[in-house]
Amino acid sequence: MDIKSLLLFLIPWSLFFILFEFILRKKLNINRPKGFYRGVNNLHKRVEIGLFIGFLLSMIIMEFFFSGMDKYTLFIFFTFLFGVRAFMEWKFDRPTREYIITFWAFCFFCVFTISFIFLF
């Protein structure tokens, strides 16, 4: 996998994601949240911190015991993270409808990960 083919893969996917999110927010009248990250409640924050710690530990274990991290681990982690985040927002914060955007990101990342695995 060279950098040129990777960029030719990432740039259209990124532009499609940004454009569709913009259209979805305008069409459904969903405001952007203030700040970079906003947890729904304490349970949500704890679950995501646990996911990050589990991911870091799995990276360390894979590096030392299995001679290197699999190149798909990061994509799988983000797909799982978006899924958990969409579920928590849907379950505990429905009035803001931010879960629609997060679910879109989850679906996008699933398709992106599968296409990345098959192409590279």
The pLDDT value recorded for residue 91 is: 94
Q: Any idea how long the chain is? A: 120
Question: How many whole angstroms separate alpha carbon 74 and alpha carbon 52?
Answer: 11
The pLDDT value recorded for residue 12 is: 93
Question: How many whole angstroms separate alpha carbon 67 and alpha carbon 85?
Answer: 31
Tokens representing residue 14 in the block = 């990124």
- CA torsion 79→21→9→75, rounded to 10°? -10
Averaged pLDDT, 15-36: 90
Q: How confident is the model at residue 68 (pLDDT cuts 50, 70, 90)?
A: low
Each domain of the chain, given as residue ranges in start order, spans 42-120
Q: Poorest-confidence range of 53-57, 100-104, 111-115? A: 111-115
Which of 18-27, 28-37, 52-61, 77-86 holds the top average pLDDT?
18-27
Averaged pLDDT, 36-55: 89
Considering the entire predicted model, what is its pTM? 0.79
